[in-house]
Amino acid sequence: MKQKTIYLVFLDTGTLLTKMINLFTNSTLNHTSIALDQSLNYVYSFGRKRPKNPFIGGFVRENLQMPFFKNAACAVYRLQISEVEYQLLEQRINMMETKKHLYRYNMLGLFGVMLNKELQRENAYFCSQFVATMLSDCGVYQYHKPACLIRPQDLRDWHELKLIYQGSLSNYPYFNMTNQHEYAHKWDTSKIKLG
């Protein structure tokens, strides 16, 4: 069966909110996203809609090369999934992107994680809840606790992930490397020279 590759990105931006979360979790890299390409051009999560305001959040396509992420530390993991699972994931993300105004950040859910108490809210996610839900809905990931209690560290501990890079995000070696074969369908292929 043909395989596709996706990536899970774990970040620490060094903001005050990040430092507070790190203190509580006793770990770092507490923001997680799904990337559909190694160059990290198609990265999705639940986070800030405006970089300077941590209280306005929801579904976002993240531009990891913007100044907000300039000093971020990261770990990027590769995950092999089937073509069918990939198509389901892409469809689900595309659907959420077209209706992103309906989704909000699950700030209340973060308190649920702290108290180990399920606080489910309709159309509301925090980052690791979103990633776990997306992967579960496609049949890739079966977690041992509700998605609303999944922490980034739970995902990083998953044995299926293969670490490909850890360090400063600004030094990530695969930025701007276009995988034309896999992503040609995203552009007008008549204008792209392959080979």
Domains of the chain are: 3-191 (3.90.1720.10)
Judged by DSSP in three states, 123 sits in coil
Q: Name the nearest CA neighbour of 128 among 100, 109, 104.
A: 109
Judged by DSSP in three states, 90 sits in helix
Query: What local confidence, expressed as pLDDT, does residue 23 receive?
Result: 67
pLDDT in tens, 63-93: 998 988 988 999 999 999 999 999 999 999 9
Global confidence as pTM: 0.84
22/145: higher pLDDT:
145
pLDDT in tens, 88-134: 999 999 999 999 999 999 988 888 888 888 888 899 999 999 999 99
Distance CA 103, CA 44 (A): 13
User: Token pair of 192, please?
Assistant: 């792209």
